[in-house]
Amino acid sequence: MPERRATATSWRTRLAQRKAADRAAEWRFARAIARVRVVDDVVAEHATEWCRRPYRRRDVRPLESAVDLPGVTWSIDNEVVVELLYADRGAHRLVVHDVALLAPLRKVLRSRHVVIEHVSWR
C-alpha cells in the first residue's frame, strides 16, 4: 500500500496562523486607540466644564462581540457624543454627535488615519 501524504496543513499550523492573525488585529486596534487618545481629554473637559456631568468611555475590541462593531464610544449622561468606528483597513471614522465638540476635536486631532465626521439629523 502506498504511503499516504497529507495535503492540507496541520491543525497546529492553522492554530498558530489564527493566533498570529488575532494578535495582529489586537495590535492594529491598540494603535488606532493610541492615535485618538486626545479625544478623552477633549470629552472630559467638555463634560466637566459645560455639561457638569461625568463621561464614560466604552471600548469594544475586535473579536470581543458578535453584536457590536469594534470601536470606542464616549458618552455623557448615557448620551453618545463621540464614536470611533474602527476600520480593519483604511482610515478610521470619528463620528461626532455633539457639534460643540467638532471644532476642538479637529484642532487637536490631525491624522490621515482618522476621518472626523459630524452626524447631522434631518
The whole model's pTM is what? 0.80
Count of structural domains within the chain: 1
122: helix, strand or coil = coil
Q: How high is the pLDDT of residue 7? A: 52
Q: Which residues span the domain enclosing 87? A: 11-118
Could you tell me if residue 3 is inside a domain?
no
Could you tell me if residue 1 is inside a domain?
no
Q: How high is the pLDDT of residue 95? A: 95
Could you tell me if residue 38 is inside a domain?
yes
Q: How high is the pLDDT of residue 44? A: 93
C-alpha–C-alpha distance, residues 27 and 97, integer Å:
27
Could you tell me if residue 69 is inside a domain?
yes
Q: How many CB atoms lie within 10 A of CB 51?
A: 16
Q: How high is the pLDDT of residue 9? A: 73
C-alpha–C-alpha distance, residues 42 and 109, integer Å:
10
Could you tell me if residue 47 is inside a domain?
yes
120: buried, middle or exposed (CB in 10 Å: 19+, 13-18, 0-12)?
A: exposed
Q: How high is the pLDDT of residue 82? A: 95
Q: How high is the pLDDT of residue 120? A: 76
Tens digit of pLDDT at every position of the chain (122 positions): 666 655 567 888 999 999 999 999 999 999 999 989 999 999 999 999 988 999 999 999 888 887 888 999 999 999 999 999 998 888 899 999 999 999 999 999 888 889 999 987 65
Could you tell me if residue 34 is inside a domain?
yes
C-alpha–C-alpha distance, residues 86 and 60, integer Å:
10
Could you tell me if residue 4 is inside a domain?
no
Q: How high is the pLDDT of residue 3? A: 65
